[in-house]
């Protein structure tokens, strides 16, 4: 962790920028803990120290950074993959919403906190959200019920998105779009959204965005394996207040993506050990990630049973030359969809959380302040960050065009 003087210098620096309550909130701790650190009664853990450094670094970057090219809000934010991507394109986040406390802990460990952070977006008044240029949302997709719509219309009850999407989290996206009218948005969801409920779900989403709210939309299914060694297809829906020229064909998708070796721990001493994931002078993957004999036997028997029945269920055994299956939020249970071969004499292993971060395209300094179980859930639920960064870069010219049009219109009005 370094010596106590180093830590005290960092803590004092942090406390010149935040009071104890603010710093405790950023670290998801009790303010009394900060006081004990200050009195040197206790010291921060190996996870908390990097979080403090990152908070300070983020504040310093913010102070040194030029004015943003556009603003955005981050809904259903998870651990911040969308935010990171749009910050790289020159955007500034002005509002965040994420309800899961473990995801919030990871998010706050990796990003500055100069704006309001809400938990449950369903309880937020849309009119209280700051004005913004772009809305980002990786909204969860629940079933859209369309039963009884005609009857409600005949009775004069709510119609449009208020009727058809109420009770789903897409409704919260729609009501914010209706109230704040951002110039653009980007929505992300599973590929199966297109075919869900025989296409009715996606039809309602399109009707809501295009007919009810008046946005021009462009959508495409993009596979993450263009950027990372993982087959992960997601639908991306980009919307603009008018057709400003954006097309998904403008998004650069590398023809040949990387292979798994690029994200695996090298285990040869070229990478510094990162406890608890890797240990020793060569940075070997900790034994805790190797499957037990019982689990490995069970997975092999399970796969054999389903193969005999003509099903495709089973584990996914990979090596450095592979592109993996989709990392899921259930990876913490048995790791079966992505098992890294360790040769014929040793059971395969799970990816470490650090390798999962890399598999989703997060930067090498991304802080993981939670348990392995929570980390696996978070990365399994995340976006592939480089996919979103490519989308942000391609959307930016259209976003800037719409911002300039609004500025020019305002100047003409004043004149």
Active site residues: 141
Tell me the angle at which helices 4-17 and 20-27 cross, rounded to the nearest 10 degrees: 110
Q: Whole-angstrom Cα distance, residue 287 to residue 258?
A: 26
Backbone dihedral angles phi then psi of residue 38, each to the nearest 5 degrees: -60, -35
Upper half-sphere CA count for residue 287 (Cβ side, 13 Å): 4
Q: Which two tokens stand for residue 15?
A: 């406390």
Q: Whole-angstrom Cα distance, residue 58 to residue 54?
A: 6
């Amino acid at each position: 962790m370094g010596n106590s003087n180093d830590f005290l210098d960092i803590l004092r620096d942090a406390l010149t920028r935040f009071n104890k309550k603010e710093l405790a909130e950023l670290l998801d701790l009790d303010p009394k803990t900060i006081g004990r650190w200050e009195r040197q009664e206790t010291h921060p853990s190996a996870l908390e120290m990097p979080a403090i450094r990152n908070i300070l670094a983020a504040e310093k970057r913010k102070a040194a950074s030029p004015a943003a090219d556009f603003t955005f809000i981050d809904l259903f934010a998870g651990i911040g993959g969308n935010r990171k991507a749009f910050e790289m394109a020159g955007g500034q986040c002005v509002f965040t919403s994420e309800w899961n406390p473990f995801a919030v802990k990871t998010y706050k460990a990796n990003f500055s906190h100069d704006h309001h952070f809400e938990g449950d977006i369903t309880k937020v008044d849309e009119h209280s959200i700051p004005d913004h240029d772009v809305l980002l949302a990786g909204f969860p997709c629940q079933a859209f019920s369309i039963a009884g719509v005609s009857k409600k219309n005949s009775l004069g009850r709510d119609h449009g998105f208020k009727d058809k999407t109420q009770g789903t989290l897409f409704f919260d996206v729609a009501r914010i779009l209706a109230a704040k009218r951002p110039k653009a948005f980007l929505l992300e969801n599973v590929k199966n959204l297109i075919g869900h409920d025989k296409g009715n779900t996606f039809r309602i989403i399109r009707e809501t965005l295009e007919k009810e709210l008046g946005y021009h939309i462009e959508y495409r299914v993009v596979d993450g394996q263009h950027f990372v060694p993982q087959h992960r297809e997601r639908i991306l829906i980009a919307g603009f207040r008018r057709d400003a020229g954006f097309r998904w064909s403008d998004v650069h998708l590398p023809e040949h993506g990387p292979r798994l070796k690029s994200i695996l721990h090298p285990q040869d001493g070229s990478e510094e050990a990162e406890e608890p994931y890797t240990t020793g002078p060569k940075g070997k993957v900790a034994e805790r990630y190797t499957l037990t004999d019982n689990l490995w036997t069970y997975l092999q028997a399970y796969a054999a049973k389903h193969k005999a029945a003509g099903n495709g269920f089973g584990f996914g055994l990979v090596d450095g030359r592979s592109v993996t299956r989709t990392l899921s939020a259930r990876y913490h249970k048995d790791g079966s969809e992505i098992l890294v071969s360790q040769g014929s004499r040793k059971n395969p292993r799970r990816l470490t959380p650090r390798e999962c971060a890399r598999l989703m395209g997060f930067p090498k300094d991304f802080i993981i302040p939670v348990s392995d179980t929570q980390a696996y859930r978070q990365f399994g639920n995340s976006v592939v960050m480089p996919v979103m960064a490519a989308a942000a870069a391609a959307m930016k010219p259209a976003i800037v065009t719409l911002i300039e049009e609004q500025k020019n219109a305002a100047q003409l009005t004043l004149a």
